Amino acid sequence: MKLSVIIPVYQVEATLNRCVESVIGQTFTDLEVILVDDGSPDSCPQKCDEWAEKDSRIHVIHKNNGGLSDARNAGLDMATGDYITFVDSDDYLQSDTYQQVMPLAATCDIVEFPIYRFFGSQKQSLLSFDTALYTDKTDYWLKQKAYEHTYAWNKIYKASLFGNIRFPKGHVFEDVFTFPSLLQQATVVGTSSQGLYYYCQNGQGITATAKGPELTDLLNAHLQTIPRWCDDRYYMHVLNIQMDVYELTGNHPKLPYRHINIFGNGLSCIQRIKGLALNILGVNNICKLNKTIHRWIKAH
């Protein structure tokens, strides 16, 4: 059961060694590690080659800069493992993660494992799961709120899922575009209580710096998924993104209207209030109201 670990590399001199060490030091050893140098202008290309000389399981791709999606796709084209996973080169893993998760992965098409989000910052938090199997993908997406953690890197995938699927080049929040397509191909999805991925704070990352165009990409990704799987909680999640996009761009809202049951289970107090406003005002007017309130707050 070979696992292909794809690591895109671009301007990560300070963290690359930590990342690679955490992968090749895994207690699960049936690995191939694919370092994709995405035209990095620093010493990363040399570091990649040095790692390949140290460990025969490591392979290196040197390519012109094409962005994260293009780098991951290049790794997918080279991968020969039965299973695929990704690691971002400014992150790292607990040493027994793959050993703990691979037995469950062998029974699933996708398995997701815990994350320390924004590790090393004041926002750090542990996202954990119960060990469970899902054959109903709607149940997984909505009840597990998978739409809040569509990350590529805290999951192990059966390689065959990527047969006709690649990450979209030229887009940010590429995971949000790609994961629902992989999920649709899956028959069984697992969550594991074991393993741990350290997602480290990056002040220059898309999550921290996203503006109107980037959040429009995020909105468009969710708009592709809403017709497939949706409940009131997920809709309110996407509504928040739509309001942010409208505030930053002024572009006409794209999110279709949905009536919210404000007395339904699972909604927070804020979601119930927003749901009531949505039911009264509609999507266009709640976006306008949100923008007006924020302008007033900034002015005062």
Tokens of 263: 């007395």
Helix orientation angle between 44-54 and 16-24, rounded to the nearest 10 degrees: 20
Compute the average pLDDT of residues 246-268.
95
Residue 204 has pLDDT above 60, yes or no: no
% of the chain surpassing 90 pLDDT: 91
Evaluate whether 263 touches 273 at the Cβ level (below 8 Å): no
Q: Which residues contact 47 (CB under 8 A, 6 or more apart)?
A: 13, 16, 17
Tokens of 159: 């390689």
How many beta carbons lie within 10 A of that of residue 224, not counting itself? 12
Give the SS3 label for residue 190: strand
Compute the average pLDDT of residues 256-270.
94
Tokens of 84: 């695929």
Q: pLDDT tens, 49-79? A: 999 999 999 999 999 999 999 999 999 999 9
Task: Calculate the alpha carbon distances from 24 to 28, 54, 73, 120, 170 in Å.
Answer: 9, 10, 21, 23, 31
- Give pLDDT, residue 203: 62
Give the SS3 label for residue 45: helix
Q: Which residues contact 299 (CB under 8 A, 6 or more apart)?
A: none
Output the pTM of the full model: 0.93
- Give pLDDT, residue 210: 81
Residue 275 has pLDDT above 80, yes or no: yes
Q: pLDDT tens, 166-183? A: 999 989 999 999 999 999
Which pLDDT band, with edges at 50, 70 and 90, does 207 fall under? Answer: low
Residue 103 has pLDDT above 90, yes or no: yes
Compute the average pLDDT of residues 12-29.
97
